[in-house]
């Protein structure tokens, strides 16, 4: 085997181990299955940042012909490995995120009002559920001004993550 080939194999083995670990966290009965509703969380915790639509596509590939409500590891592994190998759904860099907020803030005020945020998040793109919207608001909105200073918000969330 060439050195490159060996490296490739090692990287592959690495992916497999990572995927297995993340999967097992949600495999509550140790029988190599997880509830289908946890797949999104698992994929995202492996470093990917897919949209809801992309998750649905992935689900279609890993589900059984007759959906049973749970996903088997044997089906999940190859699909997820490919995702990691192809480096799909990369996370969003801070500046890109900032740019997105700025697009929504057409007047370039540096903030979005609560109503505007709710409108964009629940009517555009892949709309939030009410629960998701409330959760986001609770962290983002400054109750005094009833608006979100998105630059500060991003910074705060990023710090929290680390």
Partner 1 sequence: FKAATLIQRWYRRYVARLEMRRQCTWSIFQSIEYAGQQDQIKVRWNESGLPLALLSSPWAAKPRCSKGDFLDRMFTEERFHQDAEMEKYSDYESIEVPDSYTGPHLSFPLLPDHATALVEAFRLKQQLHARYVLNLLHETRKHLAQLPNINRLSTCYSEEITVCGDLHGQLDDLIFIFYKTHGKKILRTLQDVFCWLPLATLVDEKVLILHGGVSNRTDLELLAKLNRHKIVSTLRYKMRKENEKQAEEKRKANQTSSAQAPTPWFLPQSRSLPSSPFHLRSDKAHKTSRSSSIPCGAPLERKESSWQVQHSVGLELERCQQQAAFPVILEKEEPLLLTSKADDVAGERPEPTREEWKQVVDILWSDPMTQEGCKANTVRGGGCYFGPDVTEQLLQKYNLQLLIRSHECKPEGYEFCHNRKVLTIFSASNYYEVGSNRGAYVKLGPSLSPHIVQYQANKATHMLTMRQRQDISMNDFRKKKLQISRVEESALRALREKLFAHSSDLLDEFKKHDADKTGLITLNDWAAAVESVLHLGLPWRMLWSQLVNTSMDNALEYRSWLEDLAKEQLSHENIQSSLLETLYRNRSNLETIFRIIDSDHSGFISLDEFRQTWKLFSSHMNIDITDDCICDLARSIDFNKDGHIDINEFLEAFRLVEQSCSEGQASDCPQSTNANDSDCNSSGAP
Q: Which residues bind partner 1 (CB under 8 A)?
A: 13-14, 17-18, 21-22, 24-26, 28-31, 33, 35, 40-42, 44-45, 48-52, 70, 91-92, 96-97, 99-101, 103-104, 120-121, 124-128, 132, 135-136, 138-139, 142-144, 156-157, 160-161
Listed in sequence order, the residues at least 6 apart from 52 whose beta carbon sits closer than 8 Å to its beta carbon are 40, 126
Phi/psi zone of residue 47: left (φ > 0), alpha (ψ -120 to 50 degrees), beta?
A: left
| Contacts for 145 with CB less than 8 Å, ≥ 6 apart | 111
Distance CA 39, CA 67 (A): 14
Q: Which is nearer to partner 1, 64 or 142 (CB)?
A: 142
The CB-of-23 to partner 1 minimum distance in angstroms stands at: 9
- Rounded least distance, CB 64 to partner 1, Å: 14
The distance of closest approach from Cβ of residue 120 to partner 1 in the complex, given in angstroms and rounded to an integer, is 5
Q: How far is the CB of 83 from partner 1 (least distance, A)?
A: 14
Please state, in angstroms and rounded to a whole number, the distance separating the CA atoms of residues 125 and 110.
22
């Amino acid at each position: 085997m060439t050195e490159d080939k060996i490296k490739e194999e090692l990287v592959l083995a690495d992916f497999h181990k990572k995927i297995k670990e993340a999967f097992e966290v949600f495999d509550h009965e140790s029988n190599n299955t997880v509830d289908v509703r946890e797949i999104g969380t698992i994929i995202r915790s492996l470093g990917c940042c897919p949209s809801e639509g992309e998750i649905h596509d992935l689900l279609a590939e890993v589900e059984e012909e007759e959906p049973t409500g749970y996903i088997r590891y044997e089906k999940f592994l190859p699909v997820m490995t490919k995702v990691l190998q192809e480096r799909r759904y990369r996370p969003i860099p801070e500046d890109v995120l900032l740019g997105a907020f700025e697009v929504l803030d057409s007047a370039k005020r540096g903030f979005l009002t609560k109503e505007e945020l709710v409108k964009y998040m629940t009517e555009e793109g892949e709309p939030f559920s009410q629960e998701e919207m409330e959760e986001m608001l609770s962290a983002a909105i400054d109750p005094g001004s009833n608006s979100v200073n998105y630059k500060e918000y991003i910074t705060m969330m990023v710090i929290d993550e680390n």
